[in-house]
Chain A
Amino acid sequence: MKYVIQFAIILAICYVGDLIHNYLALPIPGNVLGMVLLLILLLTGILELSMIEDVSNFLLKHLSFFFIPAAVGLITCFTILEGKWTALFIISVVSTFIIAVVTGATVQILMKRRQSLE
Protein backbone atom coordinates (compact mmCIF):
# COMPACT_ATOMS: atom_id res chain seq x y z
CA MET A 1 0.00 0.00 0.00
CA LYS A 2 2.85 2.34 0.90
CA TYR A 3 4.11 2.27 -2.69
CA VAL A 4 0.64 2.81 -4.12
CA ILE A 5 0.12 5.98 -2.09
CA GLN A 6 3.63 7.27 -2.84
CA PHE A 7 3.18 6.73 -6.55
CA ALA A 8 -0.24 8.38 -6.45
CA ILE A 9 1.26 11.48 -4.80
CA ILE A 10 3.97 11.70 -7.48
CA LEU A 11 1.44 11.25 -10.29
CA ALA A 12 -0.80 13.92 -8.77
CA ILE A 13 2.10 16.41 -8.69
CA CYS A 14 2.88 15.50 -12.29
CA TYR A 15 -0.69 16.20 -13.29
CA VAL A 16 -0.85 19.51 -11.43
CA GLY A 17 2.36 20.52 -13.27
CA ASP A 18 0.62 19.78 -16.56
CA LEU A 19 -2.47 21.72 -15.49
CA ILE A 20 -0.39 24.78 -14.58
CA HIS A 21 1.44 24.48 -17.90
CA ASN A 22 -1.82 24.28 -19.87
CA TYR A 23 -3.80 26.94 -18.04
CA LEU A 24 -1.09 29.55 -17.70
CA ALA A 25 0.34 28.69 -21.14
CA LEU A 26 3.84 28.85 -19.64
CA PRO A 27 6.81 28.03 -21.88
CA ILE A 28 8.06 25.70 -19.13
CA PRO A 29 7.29 21.98 -19.59
CA GLY A 30 4.61 20.61 -17.24
CA ASN A 31 6.86 17.93 -15.80
CA VAL A 32 9.52 20.50 -14.94
CA LEU A 33 6.85 22.60 -13.22
CA GLY A 34 5.95 19.42 -11.33
CA MET A 35 9.58 19.08 -10.29
CA VAL A 36 9.66 22.68 -9.01
CA LEU A 37 6.34 22.12 -7.24
CA LEU A 38 7.67 19.00 -5.50
CA LEU A 39 10.82 20.89 -4.47
CA ILE A 40 8.68 23.68 -2.96
CA LEU A 41 6.44 21.17 -1.16
CA LEU A 42 9.51 19.49 0.34
CA LEU A 43 11.28 22.74 1.29
CA THR A 44 8.19 24.15 2.98
CA GLY A 45 7.64 20.89 4.83
CA ILE A 46 4.12 20.44 3.41
CA LEU A 47 5.31 17.10 2.07
CA GLU A 48 7.67 14.89 4.04
CA LEU A 49 10.43 13.18 2.10
CA SER A 50 9.31 9.85 3.58
CA MET A 51 5.94 10.25 1.84
CA ILE A 52 7.53 9.72 -1.58
CA GLU A 53 11.03 8.47 -0.86
CA ASP A 54 10.72 4.75 -1.65
CA VAL A 55 9.10 5.18 -5.05
CA SER A 56 11.48 8.07 -5.85
CA ASN A 57 14.50 5.95 -5.01
CA PHE A 58 13.17 3.10 -7.15
CA LEU A 59 12.59 5.40 -10.14
CA LEU A 60 15.95 7.17 -9.70
CA LYS A 61 17.82 3.89 -9.45
CA HIS A 62 16.44 2.67 -12.76
CA LEU A 63 16.11 6.10 -14.36
CA SER A 64 17.84 5.34 -17.65
CA PHE A 65 15.46 2.43 -18.35
CA PHE A 66 12.68 4.93 -19.00
CA PHE A 67 14.71 6.62 -21.76
CA ILE A 68 14.97 3.47 -23.89
CA PRO A 69 11.94 4.09 -26.18
CA ALA A 70 13.04 7.69 -26.79
CA ALA A 71 16.55 6.44 -27.61
CA VAL A 72 15.23 3.70 -29.91
CA GLY A 73 13.19 6.41 -31.65
CA LEU A 74 16.49 7.44 -33.21
CA ILE A 75 15.70 4.72 -35.77
CA THR A 76 13.07 7.03 -37.27
CA CYS A 77 15.67 9.82 -37.65
CA PHE A 78 18.24 7.89 -39.69
CA THR A 79 17.25 9.58 -42.96
CA ILE A 80 17.44 13.15 -41.69
CA LEU A 81 20.67 12.40 -39.82
CA GLU A 82 22.41 10.80 -42.76
CA GLY A 83 25.93 12.20 -43.14
CA LYS A 84 25.47 14.32 -40.02
CA TRP A 85 26.65 11.88 -37.36
CA THR A 86 30.19 13.26 -37.29
CA ALA A 87 28.87 16.79 -36.82
CA LEU A 88 26.55 15.61 -34.06
CA PHE A 89 29.41 13.86 -32.32
CA ILE A 90 31.86 16.77 -32.62
CA ILE A 91 29.29 19.33 -31.45
CA SER A 92 28.40 17.17 -28.44
CA VAL A 93 32.01 16.69 -27.37
CA VAL A 94 33.26 20.24 -28.01
CA SER A 95 30.30 21.91 -26.27
CA THR A 96 30.76 19.59 -23.26
CA PHE A 97 34.37 20.77 -23.13
CA ILE A 98 33.31 24.43 -23.31
CA ILE A 99 30.62 24.09 -20.63
CA ALA A 100 33.01 22.33 -18.24
CA VAL A 101 35.74 24.97 -18.66
CA VAL A 102 33.49 28.05 -18.49
CA THR A 103 31.44 26.71 -15.56
CA GLY A 104 34.47 25.52 -13.60
CA ALA A 105 36.48 28.70 -14.22
CA THR A 106 33.54 30.95 -13.24
CA VAL A 107 32.89 29.07 -9.99
CA GLN A 108 36.58 29.03 -9.11
CA ILE A 109 37.18 32.73 -9.83
CA LEU A 110 34.12 33.80 -7.84
CA MET A 111 35.05 31.59 -4.88
CA LYS A 112 38.64 32.85 -4.79
CA ARG A 113 37.49 36.46 -5.02
CA ARG A 114 35.14 35.94 -2.09
CA GLN A 115 37.83 34.23 -0.05
CA SER A 116 40.23 37.11 -0.65
CA LEU A 117 37.55 39.61 0.42
CA GLU A 118 37.00 37.81 3.70
Chain B
Amino acid sequence: MSELISQFLQSPVFGIGISLLTFYAGGLLYKRTGSPLMNPLVLSMLMIIALLLSFHISFDDYNRGGQFISFFLGPATVILAVPLYKKISLLKENVVPIIAGISIGSAAGITSIIVMCKMFGLDELISISMLPKSVTTPIGIEISNQLGGIPSITVAAIVFTGIAGVLLGPMVCKLFRIDDEVAVGIAIGTSSHALGTTKAVELGETEGAMSGLAIGIAGLITVFLAPLLAKLLM
Protein backbone atom coordinates (compact mmCIF):
# COMPACT_ATOMS: atom_id res chain seq x y z
CA MET B 1 0.00 0.00 0.00
CA SER B 2 2.71 2.51 0.98
CA GLU B 3 4.57 1.41 -2.15
CA LEU B 4 1.52 2.40 -4.21
CA ILE B 5 1.23 5.76 -2.48
CA SER B 6 4.87 6.65 -2.97
CA GLN B 7 4.60 5.67 -6.63
CA PHE B 8 1.57 7.93 -6.96
CA LEU B 9 3.46 10.82 -5.34
CA GLN B 10 6.24 10.38 -7.89
CA SER B 11 3.77 10.82 -10.74
CA PRO B 12 2.83 14.22 -12.23
CA VAL B 13 -0.77 13.08 -11.83
CA PHE B 14 -0.49 13.82 -8.10
CA GLY B 15 0.35 17.53 -8.49
CA ILE B 16 -2.10 18.14 -11.31
CA GLY B 17 -4.87 16.10 -9.68
CA ILE B 18 -4.59 17.79 -6.31
CA SER B 19 -4.57 21.22 -7.98
CA LEU B 20 -7.71 20.47 -9.99
CA LEU B 21 -9.50 18.98 -7.01
CA THR B 22 -8.72 21.79 -4.55
CA PHE B 23 -9.44 24.50 -7.13
CA TYR B 24 -12.80 22.91 -7.82
CA ALA B 25 -13.57 22.74 -4.10
CA GLY B 26 -12.43 26.35 -3.70
CA GLY B 27 -14.65 27.41 -6.59
CA LEU B 28 -17.66 25.76 -4.99
CA LEU B 29 -17.00 27.49 -1.66
CA TYR B 30 -16.61 30.83 -3.42
CA LYS B 31 -19.91 30.37 -5.25
CA ARG B 32 -21.69 29.42 -2.02
CA THR B 33 -20.41 32.35 0.04
CA GLY B 34 -19.55 35.00 -2.56
CA SER B 35 -16.98 36.37 -0.12
CA PRO B 36 -13.68 37.75 -1.51
CA LEU B 37 -11.96 35.94 1.37
CA MET B 38 -13.11 32.63 -0.14
CA ASN B 39 -10.92 33.19 -3.19
CA PRO B 40 -10.53 29.85 -5.05
CA LEU B 41 -6.79 30.38 -5.60
CA VAL B 42 -6.21 31.12 -1.91
CA LEU B 43 -8.32 28.18 -0.78
CA SER B 44 -6.60 25.83 -3.21
CA MET B 45 -3.17 27.05 -2.10
CA LEU B 46 -4.01 26.67 1.60
CA MET B 47 -5.43 23.16 1.12
CA ILE B 48 -2.42 21.97 -0.88
CA ILE B 49 0.10 23.51 1.54
CA ALA B 50 -1.75 21.94 4.49
CA LEU B 51 -1.73 18.56 2.74
CA LEU B 52 1.97 18.73 1.84
CA LEU B 53 2.92 19.77 5.38
CA SER B 54 0.79 17.21 7.19
CA PHE B 55 1.95 14.26 5.07
CA HIS B 56 5.56 15.46 4.77
CA ILE B 57 5.38 15.61 0.99
CA SER B 58 8.02 17.82 -0.60
CA PHE B 59 7.24 20.75 -2.87
CA ASP B 60 9.33 19.03 -5.56
CA ASP B 61 6.98 16.04 -5.50
CA TYR B 62 4.01 18.37 -5.94
CA ASN B 63 5.73 20.42 -8.60
CA ARG B 64 6.44 17.39 -10.77
CA GLY B 65 2.84 17.90 -11.86
CA GLY B 66 2.68 21.59 -10.96
CA GLN B 67 5.28 22.54 -13.56
CA PHE B 68 2.89 21.50 -16.31
CA ILE B 69 0.30 23.91 -14.95
CA SER B 70 2.90 26.68 -14.63
CA PHE B 71 3.80 26.20 -18.28
CA PHE B 72 0.49 27.86 -19.14
CA LEU B 73 1.61 31.13 -17.49
CA GLY B 74 3.23 32.04 -20.82
CA PRO B 75 0.10 31.73 -22.96
CA ALA B 76 -1.92 33.22 -20.07
CA THR B 77 0.21 36.38 -20.19
CA VAL B 78 0.08 36.67 -23.97
CA ILE B 79 -3.71 36.45 -24.13
CA LEU B 80 -4.06 39.39 -21.70
CA ALA B 81 -3.81 41.34 -24.96
CA VAL B 82 -7.35 40.16 -25.82
CA PRO B 83 -9.29 41.98 -23.07
CA LEU B 84 -7.01 44.99 -23.60
CA TYR B 85 -7.77 44.96 -27.35
CA LYS B 86 -11.50 44.73 -26.71
CA LYS B 87 -11.42 47.75 -24.39
CA ILE B 88 -8.86 49.88 -26.20
CA SER B 89 -11.54 52.17 -27.67
CA LEU B 90 -12.29 53.33 -24.10
CA LEU B 91 -8.73 54.57 -23.90
CA LYS B 92 -9.01 56.83 -26.93
CA GLU B 93 -11.45 59.30 -25.36
CA ASN B 94 -9.41 59.88 -22.23
CA VAL B 95 -5.93 58.76 -23.17
CA VAL B 96 -3.96 61.47 -21.32
CA PRO B 97 -5.76 61.28 -17.94
CA ILE B 98 -5.75 57.47 -17.99
CA ILE B 99 -2.11 56.94 -18.95
CA ALA B 100 -0.92 59.74 -16.64
CA GLY B 101 -3.07 58.46 -13.76
CA ILE B 102 -1.87 54.86 -14.08
CA SER B 103 1.78 55.90 -14.46
CA ILE B 104 1.80 58.33 -11.53
CA GLY B 105 -0.28 55.99 -9.35
CA SER B 106 1.91 52.96 -10.07
CA ALA B 107 5.09 54.98 -9.50
CA ALA B 108 3.73 56.23 -6.16
CA GLY B 109 2.82 52.65 -5.25
CA ILE B 110 6.22 51.19 -6.08
CA THR B 111 7.97 54.04 -4.26
CA SER B 112 5.79 53.49 -1.18
CA ILE B 113 6.62 49.76 -1.27
CA ILE B 114 10.36 50.46 -1.36
CA VAL B 115 10.07 52.97 1.50
CA MET B 116 7.95 50.62 3.65
CA CYS B 117 10.21 47.63 2.98
CA LYS B 118 13.12 49.73 4.26
CA MET B 119 11.08 50.83 7.29
CA PHE B 120 10.29 47.22 8.16
CA GLY B 121 13.89 46.21 7.49
CA LEU B 122 12.98 43.58 4.91
CA ASP B 123 15.89 42.20 2.93
CA GLU B 124 16.29 43.08 -0.72
CA LEU B 125 15.10 39.72 -2.05
CA ILE B 126 11.71 40.09 -0.36
CA SER B 127 11.45 43.80 -1.25
CA ILE B 128 12.10 43.12 -4.93
CA SER B 129 9.46 40.39 -4.89
CA MET B 130 6.96 42.93 -3.52
CA LEU B 131 7.45 45.56 -6.23
CA PRO B 132 5.01 44.18 -8.84
CA LYS B 133 2.31 43.36 -6.30
CA SER B 134 -0.46 45.48 -7.76
CA VAL B 135 -0.41 44.10 -11.30
CA THR B 136 -2.19 41.07 -12.67
CA THR B 137 -0.60 37.79 -11.50
CA PRO B 138 0.95 36.49 -14.76
CA ILE B 139 2.70 39.81 -15.42
CA GLY B 140 3.67 40.11 -11.73
CA ILE B 141 5.34 36.69 -11.84
CA GLU B 142 7.24 37.72 -14.98
CA ILE B 143 8.44 41.01 -13.47
CA SER B 144 9.48 39.25 -10.27
CA ASN B 145 11.51 36.70 -12.26
CA GLN B 146 13.07 39.45 -14.34
CA LEU B 147 14.16 41.40 -11.25
CA GLY B 148 15.53 38.30 -9.54
CA GLY B 149 12.77 38.12 -6.92
CA ILE B 150 10.83 35.12 -5.62
CA PRO B 151 7.62 34.80 -7.69
CA SER B 152 5.83 32.89 -4.92
CA ILE B 153 6.15 35.87 -2.57
CA THR B 154 4.93 38.11 -5.39
CA VAL B 155 1.84 35.93 -5.85
CA ALA B 156 1.08 36.07 -2.12
CA ALA B 157 1.38 39.88 -2.11
CA ILE B 158 -0.75 40.12 -5.26
CA VAL B 159 -3.51 38.10 -3.61
CA PHE B 160 -3.39 40.19 -0.39
CA THR B 161 -3.59 43.26 -2.61
CA GLY B 162 -6.54 41.97 -4.58
CA ILE B 163 -8.56 41.15 -1.48
CA ALA B 164 -7.65 44.52 0.07
CA GLY B 165 -8.80 46.19 -3.15
CA VAL B 166 -12.16 44.44 -3.09
CA LEU B 167 -12.76 45.30 0.56
CA LEU B 168 -11.30 48.84 0.62
CA GLY B 169 -11.22 50.14 -2.97
CA PRO B 170 -14.68 51.73 -3.21
CA MET B 171 -14.41 53.06 0.36
CA VAL B 172 -11.03 54.70 -0.32
CA CYS B 173 -12.44 56.41 -3.41
CA LYS B 174 -15.39 57.74 -1.44
CA LEU B 175 -13.17 58.91 1.42
CA PHE B 176 -10.96 60.95 -0.93
CA ARG B 177 -13.93 62.26 -2.94
CA ILE B 178 -12.96 60.42 -6.10
CA ASP B 179 -16.41 60.21 -7.67
CA ASP B 180 -15.80 60.41 -11.41
CA GLU B 181 -16.75 56.98 -12.81
CA VAL B 182 -13.70 56.76 -15.06
CA ALA B 183 -11.36 57.77 -12.21
CA VAL B 184 -12.89 55.23 -9.80
CA GLY B 185 -12.57 52.38 -12.34
CA ILE B 186 -8.98 53.21 -13.28
CA ALA B 187 -8.04 53.59 -9.59
CA ILE B 188 -9.45 50.18 -8.68
CA GLY B 189 -8.01 48.34 -11.69
CA THR B 190 -4.56 49.89 -11.25
CA SER B 191 -4.37 49.23 -7.51
CA SER B 192 -5.92 45.78 -7.36
CA HIS B 193 -5.97 44.10 -10.80
CA ALA B 194 -8.63 41.53 -11.72
CA LEU B 195 -9.80 40.89 -8.15
CA GLY B 196 -10.54 44.57 -7.60
CA THR B 197 -12.25 44.65 -10.98
CA THR B 198 -14.87 42.16 -9.76
CA LYS B 199 -15.87 44.88 -7.28
CA ALA B 200 -15.65 47.70 -9.84
CA VAL B 201 -18.09 45.78 -12.06
CA GLU B 202 -20.59 45.88 -9.20
CA LEU B 203 -20.24 49.69 -8.91
CA GLY B 204 -21.30 50.26 -12.50
CA GLU B 205 -20.67 49.56 -16.17
CA THR B 206 -18.17 52.39 -16.72
CA GLU B 207 -16.29 51.59 -13.51
CA GLY B 208 -16.04 47.90 -14.46
CA ALA B 209 -14.90 48.53 -18.03
CA MET B 210 -12.31 51.12 -16.96
CA SER B 211 -11.00 48.84 -14.23
CA GLY B 212 -10.63 46.03 -16.77
CA LEU B 213 -8.79 48.35 -19.15
CA ALA B 214 -6.44 49.46 -16.36
CA ILE B 215 -5.31 45.88 -15.62
CA GLY B 216 -3.41 45.45 -18.88
CA ILE B 217 -2.10 49.01 -19.06
CA ALA B 218 -0.91 49.03 -15.43
CA GLY B 219 0.83 45.70 -16.09
CA LEU B 220 2.70 47.05 -19.10
CA ILE B 221 3.62 50.33 -17.38
CA THR B 222 4.88 48.47 -14.29
CA VAL B 223 7.13 46.32 -16.49
CA PHE B 224 9.06 49.54 -17.18
CA LEU B 225 8.61 51.34 -13.86
CA ALA B 226 9.56 48.53 -11.45
CA PRO B 227 13.15 47.97 -12.67
CA LEU B 228 13.68 51.72 -13.10
CA LEU B 229 12.53 52.67 -9.59
CA ALA B 230 14.33 49.66 -8.10
CA LYS B 231 17.58 50.90 -9.62
CA LEU B 232 17.03 54.50 -8.50
CA LEU B 233 15.76 53.94 -4.98
CA MET B 234 17.01 50.61 -3.66
Contact = CB atoms under 8 A, between A and B. Distances in A.
A88 B160 contact: yes
A81 to B, nearest CB: 7
Contacts of A29: 77, 139, 142-143, 145-146, 223
A73 B101 contact: no
A111 B94 contact: yes
Contact of B120 (A59, A81, A87): A87
Interface residues of B, number: 107
Interface of B: 15, 19-20, 22-23, 39-42, 44-45, 48-49, 52-53, 59, 62-63, 66-67, 69-70, 72-86, 88, 94, 96-98, 100-102, 104-106, 108-109, 112-113, 116-117, 120, 122-123, 125-126, 130, 133-134, 137-139, 141-143, 145-146, 150-153, 155-157, 159-161, 164-165, 168-169, 172-173, 176, 178-180, 182-184, 186-188, 190-192, 194, 214, 216, 219-220, 223-224, 227
19 contacts: A14-B78, A29-B139, A32-B220, A35-B77, A36-B81, A59-B75, A65-B20, A70-B155, A72-B59, A75-B52, A80-B123, A88-B153, A95-B113, A95-B116, A97-B168, A102-B108, A104-B178, A107-B180, A114-B96
